[in-house]
Amino acid sequence: MRITFLGTSSGAPSRTRNMTSIALQLPQLSKLWLFDCGEGTQHQLLRSPLKLSQLERIFITHMHGDHLFGLTGLLASRSLQNGGQTPVTIYGPGGLAEYVRATLDLSRTRLGYSVSVERLSPGTIFEDDHCRVDCAPMRHGVESYGFAVVEKDRPGKFNVDLAREMGIPEGPLYAKLKAGGAVALEDGRIVNGSELTGPPVQGRKVVFCGDTAFHNGSVELSRGADLLIHEATYIGSDAHLAERANHSTSLMAAEVAKLAQVDRLMLTHFSLRYESEGHPDLEDLLAEARSVFPNTSLAYDFLNVEVNRR
């Protein structure tokens, strides 16, 4: 899994930070997913090596403009640039389907591929042979969600040499044994796949917490994640601003990471106030988070993060 931060600002862009959008690449499948699509996301994509033709799914956390004003333009450009005929599925809260339909209809935009919008509800919202996506409500004053991408475990390495030594003929029996099944040989022996395969390879888990104040739902969604991406709009001394807007401070995000026992925390969605004189800067915000959860980093636009297997 590879993460690319396309926008890390909150509310409005700055000279160095675009509006919120995070790309998830599944390179082995040549697939691209987006989490939120703030204004200017398509411009950020053009400045990156990401391919719009590989875009398959878009997950919108909530209906605030800084998280979805780039959606219609991106969909239109994908069509105009012959970005592919493959369908795009968009997942989001109530009102998103009406928003997409109205902006496309009123601008008389005709897409060269189909777009469907699925209404979010807590639980598993997508699953295939490789992974599943779970969502859970956040606490933001409006309907808002976080997402967990959970990769499925893979069978352990199959010991071909041992299988040959045991006289097991190559072919369909190997496939069944690799999958952990049992096979009956011509001489009457029963061989279990567990005898010939190593331990399962644990799947990875990446969590995207949408705009939210601290609450237990974030902790439960993030439990055991390899990477937690969490908003940290404010520093701890500005907790009154976070409380007023149902956002998180860096301390709150770090507390979620600590309680959920994640491996790594990336902070994003920063207020513009920390780029102004007379206010703390983002390094202060980072130091504060690390005092609670040491393995914390700050996201910035075009940062690439590889999520490796543990």
Q: What is the pLDDT of residue 26?
A: 83
> Do 141 and 165 reside in the same domain of the chain?
no
The Cα 159–Cα 181 span in angstroms is 14
pTM recorded for the entire structure: 0.89
Q: What is the pLDDT of residue 67?
A: 96
> Do 41 and 148 reside in the same domain of the chain?
yes
Structural domain boundaries enclosing 34: 2-154+201-306
> Do 166 and 216 reside in the same domain of the chain?
no
> Do 123 and 71 reside in the same domain of the chain?
yes
Q: What is the pLDDT of residue 135?
A: 97
Token pair recorded at residue 241: 């601003």
Per-residue pLDDT of the chain (310 residues; tens, 9 = 90+): 999 999 999 999 999 999 999 999 986 778 999 999 999 999 999 999 999 989 999 999 999 999 999 999 999 999 987 656 789 999 999 999 999 999 999 999 999 999 999 999 999 999 998 899 999 999 999 999 999 999 998 777 888 888 888 888 888 888 888 777 888 888 888 888 888 888 778 899 999 998 999 999 999 999 999 999 999 999 999 999 999 999 999 999 999 999 999 999 999 999 999 988 778 899 999 999 999 999 999 999 999 999 988 7
Q: What is the pLDDT of residue 180?
A: 75
- Catalytic residue (choose from 36, 66, 211, 238): 66
Helix orientation angle between 71-80 and 96-106, rounded to the nearest 10 degrees: 50
Q: What is the pLDDT of residue 236?
A: 93
Domain count, the chain: 2
Q: Is 266 helix (H, G, I), strand (E, B) or coil?
A: strand
Q: What is the pLDDT of residue 198?
A: 80
> Do 298 and 216 reside in the same domain of the chain?
yes
**Burial of 96 per CB tally in 10 Å (0-12, 13-18, 19+):** buried
Nearest Cα to Cα of residue 293 among 245, 238, 244, 248:
248
Token pair recorded at residue 137: 């409500």
Q: What is the CATH number of the domain that holds 207?
A: 3.60.15.10
Helix %, strand %, coil % for the chain, to 5?
A: 30, 30, 40
> Do 15 and 96 reside in the same domain of the chain?
yes
> Do 50 and 187 reside in the same domain of the chain?
no
> Do 48 and 116 reside in the same domain of the chain?
yes
> Do 26 and 175 reside in the same domain of the chain?
no
> Do 93 and 23 reside in the same domain of the chain?
yes
The Cα 170–Cα 126 span in angstroms is 36
For residue 268, the cross-strand partners are: 231
> Do 183 and 34 reside in the same domain of the chain?
no
Residue type, 141: G
Q: What is the pLDDT of residue 171?
A: 81
Cα torsion angle, 92, 98, 99, 104, sign: positive
66 labelled catalytic: yes
Q: What is the pLDDT of residue 84?
A: 65
> Do 185 and 126 reside in the same domain of the chain?
no
Q: What is the pLDDT of residue 275?
A: 87
